[in-house]
Amino acid sequence: MNELRKILVVDGKNAEHAARNAGLVRFPLEGFMKLMMAEGGADVIETLYTIQKRVPEDDSAEAVATVSEQIDRKCYALEMLGAKTIVCPSKRMANSGFKQSDDQLLQIKTLSICMRLKPDFLTLVSGDDDHAPLVWELREHGIRTEVVAADDMLGSQLRRACYSRIDLNQVFHKLQQEDLA
């Protein structure tokens, strides 16, 4: 029997928020990767993880350097686990807020890598409806998407577009039971 080829894609901001809500310090990527490989004997051929590069508190050299150092450390830690990182910078807005580009970068990189590597499945850790067009497009190319999200955080459009759903809270519970969190 041939192993299913999977690509794991983690919307970092979404996944880390869900992990904190579940009482975890961070998203347990290493345990999650092991679990996804064990489930059904899948061959995880690539893992992508977005990192939100926040806007520094001010434009001082020290604040900018602190944010850069934090991003570098996080990239290094994730890359040591075998993940490709996608750093998504935030931009200041006129009204003192900021805008992120993480959804767009995640979708472009995911589509590109899926077209190149042709996996059987994409495992997407996010409940954001903004990803529904990506999932529909992948279906057109024969790539099934399983969405991993907390049930209360899964958008209705993404729910309709995906092949299957996995409750992220159940994943966290299983990882904690197996001491992989």
Which comes out higher in pLDDT, residue 124 or 67? 124
Residue 110 has pLDDT above 90, yes or no: yes
- Give CA–CA dist 181/31, Å, rounded: 6
Residue 76 has pLDDT above 90, yes or no: yes
Query: In which band, very low, low, confident or very high, does the pLDDT at 3 lie, cut at 50, 70 and 90?
Result: confident
CA neighbor of 7 nearest in space, from 84, 102, 80: 84
Give the CATH number of domain 5-53+82-88+102-177.
3.40.50.1010
Residue 41 has pLDDT above 70, yes or no: yes
Residue 167 has pLDDT above 70, yes or no: yes
Mean pLDDT, to the nearest integer, of 136-155? 95
Long-range contacts of 106-114 (CB under 8 A, 24+ apart): 106/9, 106/11, 106/48, 106/50, 106/131, 107/131, 107/133, 107/134, 109/48, 110/7, 110/9, 110/48, 110/134, 111/137, 111/138, 113/7, 113/46, 113/48, 114/7, 114/138, 114/141, 114/143
Average pLDDT, the chain: 90
Residue 92 has pLDDT above 90, yes or no: no
Residue 145 has pLDDT above 70, yes or no: yes
